[in-house]
Structure 1
Amino acid sequence: MTLRTDDELDKALSALAAAEGTSRQEIVRRAVLERYERSRHSARVQQSSERLMDRWSDVLHRLGSV
């Protein structure tokens, strides 16, 4: 895979790689995996919230009506 970067990204990748003592490729790899995990977590939270809202909607409605 070829990754095209602009000057800003190139500078950031180099700085992070130097600071962490790793390769630029590893910095990109970690960033992609972290983003993937965050998106999966957000989806799970959303699904859980929807389930709980369905389950407890009557109680939440009554609490809001008081």
Structure 2
Amino acid sequence: MAMNLRLTDSESEALRAKAEQEGRSMQEVARTAIAQYVSERPQRLLHAIHRVRTEDAELLERLSK
């Protein structure tokens, strides 16, 4: 599937610099970043839920009553 991605000038420059640094295309760097984000999202979500449960346990307990 083809897709257009609109980046700000600073985002585009950062992507260009990263691609040049790694000797890869901007498309390859962007696709790798997207794949990494998508595959790690469930783990980040579980970590965030655990953190809220731990840090806000007292508040959550009071709200449940």
| Letter of the 1:9 counterpart | E
| Letter of the 2:25 counterpart | S
Runs (4+) of structure 1 exceeding 6 A deviation are none
Aligned-residue sequence identity (percent) comes to 32
The count of residues paired between Structure 1 and Structure 2 equals 48
Structure 1: give runs of 5+ residues left out of the alignment: 50-66
The match for 1:29 among 23, 31, 38 is: 31
- Going by fraction, where is helix more abundant, 1 or 2? 1
**Distance in 1 separating the partners of 2:37 and 2:16:** 20
Q: Alpha carbon RMSD of aligned pairs, Å? A: 1.9
Residue 36 of structure 1: how far off its partner (Å): 0.8
Structure-2-length-normalised TM-score = 0.60
The match for 1:8 among 7, 10, 15 is: 10
Structure 2: give runs of 5+ residues left out of the alignment: 51-65
Matches within 5 A, 1:1-66: 1-43=3-45
**Distance in 1 separating the partners of 2:16 and 2:25:** 8
